Amino acid sequence: MCGIVGYIGAREAQSVLLQGLEKLEYRGYDSAGIAVYDGSVIRVKKRLGRLSNLEEQLNGHGLPGSVGIGHTRWATHGRPSDENAHPHEDCSGHFVVVHNGIIENYRMLREQLRREGHRFRSETDSEVVAHLIESLYDGDLLGTVLKAANRLRGAYALVVMSVREPDRLVAVRKHSPLVVGLGEGENFIASDIPALLSYTRRVYVLDEGEVADVTASRVACYRLDGTGVDKQVLEVTWDMAAAEKAGYEHFMLKEIYEQPKAIADTLTGRLAEDNRAVLPELGWDEDTARQIDRIHIIACGTAYHAGMVGRQILERLTRIPVEVEVASEYRYREPVYTENTLVIAVSQSGETADTLAALREAKSRGRRVLAITNVVGSSVAREADDVVITQAGPEIAVASTKAYTTQLVAFYLFACYLARLRGSADPEAIRGILEAVRGLPEAVSKVLDTAPAMKQFARRFAWKESAFFIGRGLDYVAALEGALKLKEISYIHAEAYAAGELKHGTLALIAEGVPVIALATQDHLYEKTVSNIKEVKARDAYVLALTWAGDGEMATVADEVLYLPRTNPWVAPVVVAVPLQLLAYYAAVERGNDVDKPRNLAKSVTVE
């Protein structure tokens, strides 16, 4: 997945496609390619790496023609390579496709098409679409694409072009954004508005399950069942900077709001209808799962906090002892392994130097390593024995938001998967957790409605010198992440404490008006957390409490209460993370900070 551009009109398509892809570079990608119809055949050029690599290849060997499609890829299936870059062709080169998203049933379709004689050139799920259209083509490209789309499962945005009908492009949206730009004697397609702004500000935004049949002179829209749709033209008034952020003031805020989709994408193909965790990328059997007798989790920063949640859910469901270690410390303490210790390395970028060094330490000792990362072709992904890829998509802001919540989801899936293979937990308990995981996109969407309340609270305490976060159990881990977010972008001194530790020294720091954010989502620890809140209130702290909707007691204890949609307490760290991200964001904005690029920090820490 990442960026899509399509053009049909009178201009040279190559320049339109390259310029559009350049406007989408902010989204992150690992390869780029374009396909242009030259009057007789569709010519495809694609290269690993930056868009400049593709432009260098095209220099002096351009692709003439006025119809084309282009793509920048963020790898999900198959390593980053020239062969796996988009666009993808069928066997004959008559049908060419670009695709964002995930085709869940691509393995089944690939095998069926292979039996029919189709030859595949890449490792991707996307190439299946080109061959499927070739197999189904009946002389009508629109009708064929509709038939193909109804056989695909997953989340995708597609644009298809064909030698057979070179005067049209067909685009499909299912759970992945697409817009159509409207011109005079020309039309455009893109996955995001910035790619179009140099040419038009009049767009159709395709809604879920819609298809656009695009020629140079007209655009017709349909639903997947073939019925027509009347679209309203959107007049874009954003400037380019705002367009890249989809109208949000900062990338961080945009990425906070992308979390329902990022979580849904991470679940795609991994959660069966009967609430079983399915991780086809692992393919472990019962013997493999039962041999594991110890787990070490290594990570840094936000990923370390995800690992702390992972430890609790893994120990609860698998009964395997789990250690969590800051990666920068791991290899210097001579960790003790058993013969069957599994090491889990967690890294958003997959290039975190400390995590990579710790991974190599474990590998040098002969240990099996599982990576949880967001980047397919990263060093961590390449060097691990097994990989679970989160589907957060590119994360631009330095402060991690959607990468963190998708790492949590990956841990829930893996813990339930491993527990089922080991037979170590009550199947009903596993199903209950996974049912709650399935509901996380909707729950997070509801939590985003708390933004006005968090903005108001942030304004009141943005100029305080210190803030404290408290919680018990999983709420303590969530408090650690909340404090990290606040200090890394607002520069407010923030600390998180296990609430039961307050009386062992921390209460000395509590004074009148000091903000305390108290988390109370763990039902079995609720009464003890309330007692701890009373302790800080007795010292005149100002308390914001986060607890479940329907709670009738907390309002009598705390100064303010934020009510969250109730879910299984095991998945509460995902739900709690969102308002704490918003709190940090609005505090940073109030203080006039550079939210996306906080001082002294980098997105990917590639030095020790």
Catalytic residues: 2, 603
* Of 97, 121, 122, 218, nearest in space to 168 by CA: 218
C-alpha angle 438/393/19, rounded to 5°?
145
Burial class (CB in 10 A: 0-12, 13-18, 19+), 248: middle
Terminal CA-to-CA distance of the chain, rounded, Å? 31
Task: Report which DSSP code applies to 190.
Answer: E
Query: How far does CA 278 lie from the centroid of its chain?
Result: 18
* Of 195, 154, 144, nearest in space to 17 by CA: 195
Question: CA-CA distance, 465 to 491, in Å (whole number)?
Answer: 9
Q: Residue 552: count other Cβ atoms within 10 Å of its Cβ.
A: 6
- Identify residue 498 by its one-letter amino acid code: A
Burial class (CB in 10 A: 0-12, 13-18, 19+), 29: buried
8 Å CB contact between 309 and 475: no
What would the two tokens of residue 206 be?
């395709």
Q: Residue 453: count other Cβ atoms within 10 Å of its Cβ.
A: 17
Q: Residue 163: count other Cβ atoms within 10 Å of its Cβ.
A: 14
At residue 313, φ and ψ (nearest 5 deg) are: -75, -35
Question: CA-CA distance, 332 to 311, in Å (whole number)?
Answer: 21
